[in-house]
A and B are shown apart, each in its own frame.
Chain A
Amino acid sequence: MLSQELEETLKRAMGLAAKKGHEYATLEHLLFALTEDNDALEVLSACNADIDDLRQNLMLHMNNRLRRYRMNALKHAQLTVFSEFCNAP
């Protein structure tokens, strides 16, 4: 069972992909959402991660590289094979 916080984070990742009109919610969307997750922030800080820098680089990647993968007629972001665990019961 997923914790409430993780469930919210996964929703944020999917929401971010949808908002940007991306065809897939990728690991980059998930990592970006994790930078707003208190549990994940604790781990990232313990690893001395530069959160602002990380967010900036992820946003750059999503805006440039993933921009080409526009949403199809389905009009909602799909999960990639790596993120499909999010759909697991």
Chain B
Amino acid sequence: METHHNIMQQLCHHDAVLSQTRMSSNDDRDSKKPSDVTVLETKPKIKRPSLYKVIMLNDDFTPMEFVIHVLQLYFRKSQDEATQIMLHVHQRGVGVCGLYTYEVAETKASQVMDLARKNQHPLQLQLEKE
């Protein structure tokens, strides 16, 4: 019986602590009235969009003439520049076709690969953040 009484006492004490906790959390909320808060309006920071390199990968099947053609058509390279990039890709395995914002880089890579597939060439291009 005494044990039961003790348990009841403990439970009551627990309740009291709980209600105190609730009250104090209410007090905390009340103390944060809007008038006490200073709102600093700052101008949003803006960042220039990152640029991405369109990288061409070497393969043993796409003809050199086709590579030069797409470099001139899609990446606005002169005959000489296009030939240099094509040889770079051929000798080193990869070459940079140009530097663009993400959306433009992705579109150019996609357009070139579409044209390559239509002509049954396995040419691959990738994007790399500058």
Contact = CB atoms under 8 A, between A and B. Distances in A.
Contacts of B73: 72
Interface in A58-80: 61, 65-66, 69-70, 72, 78, 80
B104 A27 contact: no
Interface string B65-76: 000000001001
Contacts of A24: 103-104, 107
Interface in B1-59: 46, 48-49
Interface residues of B, number: 12
Given A65-B101, A72-B73, A72-B76, A80 B106 contact: yes
Contacts, number: 32
A63 to B, nearest CB: 13
A82 interface: yes
Nearest to B110: A81
B46 A81 contact: no
A27 B49 CA distance: 12
Contacts of A61: 49
3 closest pairs, A vs B, by CB? A80-B107, A80-B103, A81-B107
